[in-house]
Amino acid sequence: MFTISCSATEMRFATVQFVIRRALTTAAVASIGLAVATSAIAMGPMISGGATVTAPADRGTQVQVNPPPATPTARYRVTVNIDWTSSTHPGTLPSNAHVSAPVIAVHATPGAMFAVGTQASSGIEAMAERGITSTLVGELNSNVDVTHVAAGGRSFDVDVAQFDHRISLVTMLAPSPDWFVGFAGRATFVDGQWIESVTFPLGNYDAGTDSGSAFTSPNANTQPQQPISGPDDAAFAAAAAQNPFGTVTITKIG
């Protein structure tokens, strides 16, 4: 316990001080509130989601705000165009040049089907050397990272999700030792948005599983197996340098 003693005059003075301080504080709060309100008016209305808003007429410009959040899933059409003819590859085209049935997969991690610098799976070897797709399809179907697999045809409609948005595709070049074309782990969800459409040349790969050096070389199994690479053999490199063996277009359709 303690006691404060003061005169009536001192008490009145203290009360006046308190009232003045309180009034000042209220004024300060009111001032801050006014400042916030003024800022909000200056900034304009709150904007959420995607929109193109027109700034006040005296500014005379359009302001592009962020696009809306992307949908969780999307659908793409993947179209393969093979362009391997005597016109595109004069002097290097083998007789009966053709490709195998393409195999396509949707997956999460980039190298789920194949990757340069890694060893080809048995399925990639069978596809690249003999055009057999069943082994590769089986591998992909048993891979928990893969959400969609298809083979055959030149056009595929595939569903992707934000965390399962990569597409890979391969097809054999024939005749050839173990050479194939395609692409690995192409992303459809980039910087928080679905891509609309993209066209690019098919990549050129050596599976590292056969040592033949010409399109029509006899079988020569590579032991030990080598990593997947680009076209190391001169015949393959020369043909690849002339033109792409084909292109692929990936277009969002839903």
Interacting residue ranges for Ca ion, rule: CB under 5 A = 178, 206, 209-210, 221
Provide the minimum distance between the beta carbon of 251 and Ca ion in the complex, in angstroms, as a whole number: 33
Provide the minimum distance between the beta carbon of 219 and Ca ion in the complex, in angstroms, as a whole number: 7
- Nearest residue (CB) to Ca ion, 132 versus 195: 132
Let me know if 176 is exposed, middle or buried by CB neighbors in 10 A (0-12, 13-18, 19+): buried
- Nearest residue (CB) to Ca ion, 230 versus 254: 230
**What DSSP string describes 183-211?**
EEEEESEETTEE--EEEEEPEEEE-SSB-
- Nearest residue (CB) to Ca ion, 187 versus 237: 237
- Nearest residue (CB) to Ca ion, 164 versus 210: 210
**What DSSP string describes the chain?**
-------HHHHHHHHHHHHHHHHHHHHHHHHHHHHHHHHHHHH-S---SS-EEEPPTTT--EEE-PPPPPPSEEEEEEEEEE--STTTSTTTPPTT-EE---EEEEESSTTSS--TTSBPPHHHHHHHHH---HHHHHHHHT-TTEEEEEESSSEEEEEEETTB-EEEEEEEEESSSSEEEEEEEEESEETTEE--EEEEEPEEEE-SSB---STTPPP-B-SSPPBPBS--SHHHHHHHHHS-SEEEEEEE--
- Nearest residue (CB) to Ca ion, 24 versus 241: 241
How many Å is the maximal CA-CA distance in the chain?
117
CA-nearest of 221, 35, 217 to 120 is 221
Provide the minimum distance between the beta carbon of 51 and Ca ion in the complex, in angstroms, as a whole number: 54
- Nearest residue (CB) to Ca ion, 156 versus 177: 177
Provide the minimum distance between the beta carbon of 133 and Ca ion in the complex, in angstroms, as a whole number: 16
Provide the minimum distance between the beta carbon of 134 and Ca ion in the complex, in angstroms, as a whole number: 17
- Nearest residue (CB) to Ca ion, 164 versus 178: 178
Residue with the closest Cβ to Ca ion? 209
Provide the minimum distance between the beta carbon of 129 and Ca ion in the complex, in angstroms, as a whole number: 5
